[in-house]
Amino acid sequence: MPASDRDHMLAAIASADRVRGSTAPNPWVGCAIVAADGARFTGATEPPPGRHAEVVALEAASGAARGSTAYVTLEPCSHHGRTGPCTDALMAAGVERVVVGTLDPDEKVNGRGVAALRSAGIEVSVGTAEDLVLDQLGPYLHHRTTGRPFVTLKLAASIDGRTAAPDGSSRWITGEAARTDVHRMRARCDAILVGAGTVRVDDPALDVRHVEGTNPRRYVLGSVPSDARVRPCTELSGPLPEVLDRLGADGVIDLLVEGGARVAHDLHSAGLVDRYVVYLAPMLFAGDDAHPMFVGAGASNISQVWRGRLVEVTTLGEDIRVTLEPGRRGGAR
């Protein structure tokens, strides 16, 4: 059976996945050019000011692009920015059909890419494997529609939800596999945010030394000692919604927040967390004197309790990773 449109879009999605964390403020887009004889050439967005995905794939395909079908996860751009319009590149290469995963809400594009292709006589369809594309580009779409980064809050605790013993000692709660997984998350995001308290207590480097990839930009809420390992970093202050506006304006699309308990509480209670990734170790501090995951006032009655949607549960070595996203409010079912 010949490969379907969906199969080719999956190849474009896989290609985009490999550049995640390296393209901000641009989206991580993937493209597959499928020639008339079935040969497939892929490409993904380069770090700015590099080439867009379509141009990378077209250059790989070279003459084979004539009469081909292009599969692009995101609507091709039609504006002159850091690079020329991808719509022009697709037309000039002689692409006959363009299959788009989802439309680009960026005000510079927003339907104009598809319109430009159609008016040049190219057949365009939108929505192939769109569920997977929306999942992959979720943080980008969030950024372009709200102006703020998509916020992932990472938490690590014992199974009874504690993060340190009463004397403050906490090394190591989760194991090697979970720590490597956190480094993978760091490599895939654009920036990390922590509170100054976490810098003072843990002195984290917030780098990706356990995996291959680029170190994210580092932001700290509050002031940072001159010899802290987190340097170089940017110190921020002010109300959290404004902090997120500032990060969004800085081009941070995908933000990872790694603590501490006060920052976790303040972001959560303001409804500013888009995804929770919770690592739980098979340990019990077994007392109410150990440090909690959140510091500050919580829900005052059961009808105020936050209830999320369970997205995924994964075992990592001895630990588990639980991913939640906001659902509806209310503790009672």
Dihedral Cα 59, 62, 65, 66, nearest 10 deg: 140
CB of residue 255 to ligand AOF, shortest distance in Å = 18
DSSP 164: E
For the record, the structure tokens of 81 come out as 């920015």
DSSP 233: -
Q: Is residue 86 part of the contact set for ligand AOF (CB under 6 A)? A: yes
Find the binder of ligand AOF among 66, 108, 309, 329 (CB under 6 A): 108
Q: Is residue 163 part of the contact set for ligand AOF (CB under 6 A)? A: no
How many other CB atoms are there within 10 angstroms of residue 123's CB atom? Answer: 12
Q: Is the bond preceding residue 2 a cis peptide, omega within 30 degrees?
A: no
Q: Is residue 109 part of the contact set for Zn ion (CB under 5 A)? A: no
The one-letter amino acid at 141: L
| Interface mask toward Zn ion for 7-46; x: CB under 5 A | ----------------------------------------
CB of residue 311 to ligand AOF, shortest distance in Å = 26
Among residue numbers 273 through 312, which ones bind ligand AOF (CB under 6 A)?
A: none
Q: Is residue 198 part of the contact set for ligand AOF (CB under 6 A)? A: no
For the record, the structure tokens of 36 come out as 């008339």
54 is a catalytic site residue:
yes
The site partner of 202 among Zn ion, ligand AOF, none (C-beta below 5 to 8 Å per kind) is: none
Find the binder of Zn ion among 77, 116, 129, 155 (CB under 5 A): 77
Residue 215: burial class (beta carbons within 10 Å; 0-12, 13-18, 19+): middle
The one-letter amino acid at 273: V
Tell me the torsion sign for CA atoms 156, 157, 161, 167.
negative
The values of phi and psi at residue 243, to 5°, are: -60, -45
Find the binder of ligand AOF among 64, 109, 114, 156 (CB under 6 A): 109
- Contact footprint for ligand AOF (CB under 6 A): 26-27, 29, 45, 48, 52-54, 74, 76-77, 81-83, 86, 104, 106, 108-109
Active site residues: 54
